[in-house]
Amino acid sequence: MKSLALLVSSLLAIALLGGPLAMFLSAKLYKVRNNEPNTVLQGSLSKSTKYLIYKSLIATLAALSILTNAAFLIEHIPATLRLLSFLALCTGLIAIKRLFFQKSK
């Protein structure tokens, strides 16, 4: 029973925190990319490699959140969790939109 509780709590953590966290990180990525591209990841990697790693981590987090929240919306769960899942799904979609569909200047 402990493993089931651990599985449920990890799914809820991914679902409810993944979207808002990805949205926050994509907003930070936008600020860093426009102002100071060196402050995100320090090291011996090139700027494009750092950007690609950071962007792929955010996209993975947002995709996991979107998939988990979509599963929660399909299942029979209480209305409160369904509402929270919908809001987290929206924030994950906003994060993906910020990452891949930005307007060019």
* pLDDT (tens digit per residue) in 14-24: 988 998 898 88
User: Pick the residue with more confidence: 4 or 100?
Assistant: 4
Return the half-sphere exposure (C-beta side, CA atoms, 13 A cut-off) of residue 103. 1
Let me know if 50 is exposed, middle or buried by CB neighbors in 10 A (0-12, 13-18, 19+).
Answer: middle
* pLDDT (tens digit per residue) in 48-101: 787 888 889 889 999 999 999 999 899 888 999 899 999 999 999 988 888 888
Task: Look at residue 43 in the predicted model and tell me its pLDDT.
Answer: 58
- pTM of the entire predicted model: 0.75
The structure tokens listed for 52 are 């690609």
The structure tokens listed for 102 are 């930005």
